[in-house]
Amino acid sequence: MCSIAGFYDPSARFTARQAEFEHILQQMGQCQTHRGPDDSGIFLSDQCGLSHTRLSIIDLKNGSQPMTRSMDDYLYHIVYNGEIYNLKALRQALFDRDVIPKTSSDTEIILLSYLTFGPAFIKRLDGIFAFAIYDERHKILTLYRDSFGVKPLFYTVHNGTLVFSSELKGLFCFPGITPKLDRTGLNEIFGLGPARTPGSGVFTDIYELKPGTSMTCSHLGFLPDTYFRLTSRPHEDSYEDTIEKTRFLVTDAIKRQMVSDVPICTFLSGGVDSSLVSAVCAEELKAQGQTLTTYSFDFTDNDKYFQANSFQPSMDRPYVDQMVTFLHSDHHYLECGSDIQADRLYASVDAHDLPCMADVDSSLLYFCEEVAKHHKVVLTGECADEVFGGYPWFHKELFLNCNTFPWTPDLSPRKQLLNKELLNILDMDQYVKNAYETAIREIPILPGENSTEVNRRRIGYLNIRFFMQTLLNRMDRTSMHSGLEARVPFADRTLVDYVFNIPWEMKAKDGVVKNVLRQAARTLLPDEILFRRKSPYPKTYHPAYEKLLAERLRMVMDHSDCPLKGLVDETAVMVFLDQTKDYGSPWYGQLMAGPQMIAYLLQVEYFLRKYHVEVHI
Q: What is the set of active-site residues?
A: 2
Is the separation of the CB atoms in 35 and 166 below 8 Å? yes
In sequence order, which residues have a C-beta less than 8 Å from that of residue 396 and are 6 or more positions away? none
Is the separation of the CB atoms in 86 and 126 below 8 Å? yes
In sequence order, which residues have a C-beta less than 8 Å from that of residue 355 and are 6 or more positions away? 189, 193, 194, 349, 600, 603, 604, 607
Produce one character per residue of 41-60: b if its CB has 16 or more CB atoms within 10 Å, e if not.
bbbbbebbbbbbbbbbbbbe
Rounded-to-integer distance, Cα 149 and Cα 491, Å:
10
Sign of CA dihedral 363, 367, 370, 376: negative
H-helix segments, 118-174? 168-171
Rounded-to-integer distance, Cα 45 and Cα 56, Å:
26
Rounded-to-integer distance, Cα 339 and Cα 324, Å:
29
Q: DSSP class of residue 542?
A: -
Rounded-to-integer distance, Cα 347 and Cα 369, Å:
12
Rounded-to-integer distance, Cα 189 and Cα 218, Å:
33
The three-state secondary structure class of 54 is strand
Rounded-to-integer distance, Cα 474 and Cα 468, Å:
10
